[in-house]
């Protein structure tokens, strides 16, 4: 007598003719993006620690007055929860990497867990947008390690949204699901183009003069 395999979320029939995002593909992306985010957050955490124990320490990502991690680390926006933001990134991206590794070994997280991870990623992206605004308009300074986190957050969010839509973990009209899943590359490109344009419009002249 054999035991039936656990049921998996069905892929929406409306996706016929559209290439869906497979479980393994998503897990690989989570692993890569999570690892990059973890490395950037960990490095920034080390820089923050060194700046506390060595008052004259110059961060490795501080190139000039407009590309300076010190400004972000020393601001109140850099410790929104009472401790440096990079510590939050270290913990959050560790969860992403762990989830990816488990998924690649054959364990598929349940729906509630995937939605919880997606919710956390949405909150993370909102924090990124806030920090972009702070960097572009208030500090007028860029943090390279912070920007590495910004870069990975958008695909980390969108790929999870796409997977949740196509497996019906997030309910949506069939036509909308098909349009979004079929426009994966376009959505990702637009998601990068908007903040890049925002950056160039607000800080472009300063960056040009700084080099």
Please name each of the domains of the chain with its CATH number.
20-210 (1.20.1440.130)
Q: Retrieve residue 67's tokens.
A: 């590309």
Residue 167 CB burial class (10 angstroms; 0-12, 13-18, ≥19): buried
- Rounded to whole angstroms, the Cα distance separating 188 from 153 reads 11
- Give percent of the chain with pLDDT exceeding 90: 55
80, 188, 71, 62: which is closest to 130 by C-alpha?
A: 80
Position with higher pLDDT, 77 vs 93: 93
By mean pLDDT, which of 19-28, 146-155, 163-172, 174-183 is the weakest? 174-183
Radius of gyration of the chain (CA): 20
Q: What is the pLDDT of residue 17?
A: 66
- Rounded to whole angstroms, the Cα distance separating 60 from 35 reads 20
Q: Retrieve residue 110's tokens.
A: 């349940």
Contact between 181 and 21 under an 8 Å Cβ cutoff? The reply is yes
Give the distance from CA 123 to its chain's centroid.
10
């Amino acid at each position: 007598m054999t035991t039936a395999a656990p049921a998996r979320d069905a892929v929406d029939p409306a996706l016929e003719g559209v290439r869906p995002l497979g479980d393994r593909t998503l897990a690989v992306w989570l692993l890569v993006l999570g690892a990059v985010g973890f490395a950037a957050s960990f490095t920034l955490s080390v820089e923050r620690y060194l700046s506390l124990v060595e008052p004259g320490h110059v961060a490795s990502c501080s190139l000039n007055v407009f590309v300076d991690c010190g400004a972000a680390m020393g601001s109140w926006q850099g410790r929104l929860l009472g401790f440096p933001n990079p510590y939050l990134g270290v913990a959050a991206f560790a969860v992403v990497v762990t989830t990816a590794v488990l998924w690649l070994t054959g364990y598929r997280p349940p729906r509630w867990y995937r939605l919880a991870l997606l919710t956390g990623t949405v909150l993370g992206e909102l924090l990124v947008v806030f920090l972009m605004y702070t960097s572009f308009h208030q500090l007028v300074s860029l943090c390279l390690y912070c920007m590495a986190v910004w870069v990975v957050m958008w695909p980390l969010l969108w790929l999870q949204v796409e997977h949740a839509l196509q497996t019906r973990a997030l309910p949506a009209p069939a036509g909308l699901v098909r349009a979004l899943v079929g426009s994966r590359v376009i959505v990702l490109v637009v998601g990068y183009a908007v903040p890049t344009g925002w950056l160039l419009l607000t800080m472009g002249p300063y960056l040009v003069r700084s080099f």
